[in-house]
Structure 1
Amino acid sequence: MQRRRFLLASGAALGAAISPLWADIGHQLYLSAASKGDRSTWLVGVEATGHVRFSLPLPGRGHAAAAHPERAEAIVFARRPGRFAMVLDCASGQILSELHAPEGRHFYGHGVFSADGQVLFTTENDFDGPDGRIGVWDAANGYRRLGEFASGGIGPHEIVRLENGHLAVANGGIQTHPDFGRKKLNIPTMRTNLTVLSPEGTVTASYDFPEAFHQNSIRHLDIGPDGQVFAALQWQGMPTKRVPLVAEFHTGRTRFLDHKATARLKAYAGSVAVSGDGSEIAVTGPKGGHMLIFDKAGQPITDMALPLASGVAKTDAGLLITCARGLARREGGDTEVIPVSGGWSWDNHLVRV
């Protein structure tokens, strides 16, 4: 028995040793869900140079991805109300396995790993509740489902891990049900919030908007250099009402970041990211073909037309954005468009892995 246990332990250690790590795969890689003119749906692995390292067909439209903190592995999630998530080997560009949301649940397109990579947390909908849920998966043992807990609101979308290991969840407030496709069922009464949870599901903080902005759905998140959570918002109220589409949450405070060009986003902020050097905050507007830039204090710097500006992620020194012609790289205050072959229509997320 002791020999058998030793062999099993040795095998597990060997498996861990030969699993590729991020340092093993070389150049910086970014992931984005995309589609083509024939309505096919894909996951694209692209470098900041515009080189497509791999493209994988997906069984339905994808949304975002979550990168494992150590292994060269990522999880790609279905767009709401999809129920699939694919485990990707980023070294080989191959799908390793697939996760499925349990009965009565669907994914919201996002997830995040614990700092040690042992657990995967996913945003999900208990659509007959209705209630937002956080799925808990054993990332160390084949992504076995461990359980779930409440997200602290309705319609949890993006989830990010804070420096202390807690989870910030964008509860967008919008009730949906697969029987009605993507129809929004509660717009007049919706309430959006950002909830901070411990890894065990205990609410440690909750940020609500004033009544006048209860329809300003919190969707996508990034973390600032001082622990701030920046959020891209999508306005669900009267389209003629001018509202800010960026919020900052920090140490019990909620602050809206407005910009003279906010209206150019057409009430829809697609994605948000803090630059690699921490000097800029970028917010994309795919419907308006525009992008807003704020400084690290949240003050507006500039804006620019960028057709189909969709996903945005940090580079070592700046930002990388998916757009109509491929990618746009912004560093040192300058923006350069980089062509990408393949004719891709990008989804709202670009994830640096």
Structure 2
Amino acid sequence: MATRRAFLSGLAALALPKPGWAAVGSPHCLAAGKTAERYVLHGLSADGHSLFAIDLPGRGHAAAAHPHRPLAVAFARRPGTFAIVLDCMTGAEQYQLTPPAGRQFNGHGVFSADGRVLYTSEVIAETSQGRIGIWEAEDFQRVGEWSSGGIGPHDLKRQADGGLIVANGGIATDPADRSKLNIATMRPNLTRLSPAGEITAQAELPPALWQNSIRHLALAPDGTVAFAMQWEGDPAEPVPLLGLWQIGTPPQLCPPPEAEAFRMQGYAGSVAISGSGQIALTSPRGGVVMIHAQNGAHLATHARADVCGVTALGSGFLLSDGSGALWSLEDQQLSPLTVGDTHWDNHIVPLA
């Protein structure tokens, strides 16, 4: 009878619904930061309030949010090494991901739509050749890997059909200290991987812009890819840092007026697309956020020191800065939401 009771108890446990994000307050997004001497990952509401904060072992960069369960995978800021699975209900570290020997995580990851698979951006340490790690998302065992299609992949996004868009930044780095090794010969690209991991499309920048490292991505409902870049060339050149890509066509570059381009100081930190189709591009180095129309035309530039994190908030945006403030940007009005003692890091990761 004891065995039968245990069996029935196990069946009952399997039948119970697993908790979803509503169990932790239905956060709008995740963001890493530093509070005093603690590195933390926060779940944020749409009005900028923290619903939970979980300690991290070091400075965080981005995170991957499970689509259904209150689980997050937090990735270290380079050259950090951790990628940890966090239970956002209890704050417990459930798993620590370890790439194969000779691999390094590269700051970003994304779950499949059904939540069964986690994809991570990685490099072969000695060569910086890109890999996409594949992990089953029940007990987070590694089950395979794909080529990213280039050197130094960073951000990756999941398309509606389950394929992936990868930002291959083009920069080879020293495996020990991540110093840049190939600035004179770098060649970034955008790569589209099918749900089976096959490279089905790639796009490169014009040769004069090969030193424009493609770093971060945002996807529009119509499949357009917005990509943010960081210029490794002559700082006196006002190059475009935003591009748009429709798969099957060359990428479209979106230069702002020259004076506005110089305000970015060659560095775009994050990119997002709002519900109305506008595009936000941030520069913590320049202390500005640029707004572009759906077609890439420059609309406005707003000043805010050390602004970097951005995600859609209805028809506008939610932004974070390194001084502890969260902001809303709606109808070209930048308004404070909250100010606290957490100094926000680079990215805001939406749950949807």
TM-score between both structures, scaled by the size of structure 2: 0.91
1:143 match: secondary structure:
coil
Counterparts of 1:22 and 1:239 in 2: how far apart (Å)? 44
Of the three residues 79, 104, 107, the one matched with 2:105 is 107
Structure 1 position 218 matched with structure 2 position 217 = no
The equivalences for 1:55-70 within 5 A come to 55-70=53-68
What is the Cα deviation at residue 318 of structure 1? 2.0
Counterparts of 2:345 and 2:52 in 1: how far apart (Å)? 17
What is the Cα deviation at residue 130 of structure 1? 3.5
Which residue in 1 is equivalent to 2:340? 341
Counterparts of 1:183 and 1:26 in 2: how far apart (Å)? 41
Counterparts of 2:188 and 2:99 in 1: how far apart (Å)? 24
Of the three residues 74, 77, 101, the one matched with 1:76 is 74
What is the Cα deviation at residue 36 of structure 1? 4.6
* Paired letter, 2:248: G
The equivalences for 1:1-353 within 5 A come to 7=7, 11=10, 14-15=13-14, 17-36=16-35, 38=37, 40-139=38-137, 141-179=138-176, 181-253=177-249, 254-260=251-257, 261-275=260-274, 277-323=275-321, 324-342=323-341, 344-353=342-351
**Per-residue CA distance 1:48-74 (angstroms, 9 max, x = gap):** 333222222222221101111221211
- Structure 1 stretches of 4+ with a deviation exceeding 6 A read none
CA contact (8 A) 2:84 2:95 kept: yes
1:278 match: secondary structure:
coil
* Paired letter, 2:168: N
Gap change, CA 1:148 and 1:300, over 3 Å in 2: same
Mean CA deviation greater in 55-64 or 44-53: 44-53
Counterparts of 1:13 and 1:151 in 2: how far apart (Å)? 42
What is the Cα deviation at residue 134 of structure 1? 0.6
Mean CA deviation greater in 305-314 or 22-31: 22-31
What is the Cα deviation at residue 16 of structure 1? 6.9
* Paired letter, 1:72: P
Q: Which runs of 5+ in 2 are unaligned?
A: none
What is the Cα deviation at residue 12 of structure 1? 6.9
Counterparts of 2:109 and 2:12 in 1: how far apart (Å)? 27
CA contact (8 A) 1:82 1:106 kept: no
**Per-residue CA distance 1:37-92 (angstroms, 9 max, x = gap):** 64x43222222333222222222221101111221211111122333212122334
Count of residues in correspondence between the two structures: 344
Mean CA deviation greater in 314-323 or 261-270: 314-323
Gap change, CA 1:80 and 1:187, over 3 Å in 2: same
CA contact (8 A) 1:322 1:328 kept: yes
Gap change, CA 1:265 and 1:19, over 3 Å in 2: same
- What's the % identity of the aligned pairs? 46
Gap change, CA 1:229 and 1:7, over 3 Å in 2: farther
What is the Cα deviation at residue 335 of structure 1? 2.0
**Per-residue CA distance 1:118-166 (angstroms, 9 max, x = gap):** 1111000101234111100011x30101011211000000010111211
Gap change, CA 1:295 and 1:12, over 3 Å in 2: farther
CA contact (8 A) 2:167 2:214 kept: yes
Counterparts of 1:331 and 1:13 in 2: how far apart (Å)? 48
Gap change, CA 1:94 and 1:222, over 3 Å in 2: same
Mean CA deviation greater in 196-205 or 48-57: 48-57
Counterparts of 1:300 and 1:130 in 2: how far apart (Å)? 34
What is the Cα deviation at residue 332 of structure 1? 3.3
Gap change, CA 1:75 and 1:13, over 3 Å in 2: farther
Gap change, CA 1:240 and 1:197, over 3 Å in 2: same
**Per-residue CA distance 1:175-231 (angstroms, 9 max, x = gap):** 11332x131111001110000012332100000111000010000100012110101
What is the Cα deviation at residue 325 of structure 1? 4.2
What is the Cα deviation at residue 28 of structure 1? 2.9
* Paired letter, 2:113: A
1:212 match: secondary structure:
helix
2:308 match: secondary structure:
coil
What is the Cα deviation at residue 13 of structure 1? 7.3
1:310 match: secondary structure:
strand
Mean CA deviation greater in 120-129 or 326-335: 326-335
What is the root-mean-square deviation of aligned Cα atoms in Å? 2.1
CA contact (8 A) 1:79 1:107 kept: no
Counterparts of 2:315 and 2:13 in 1: how far apart (Å)? 36
Counterparts of 2:29 and 2:66 in 1: how far apart (Å)? 13
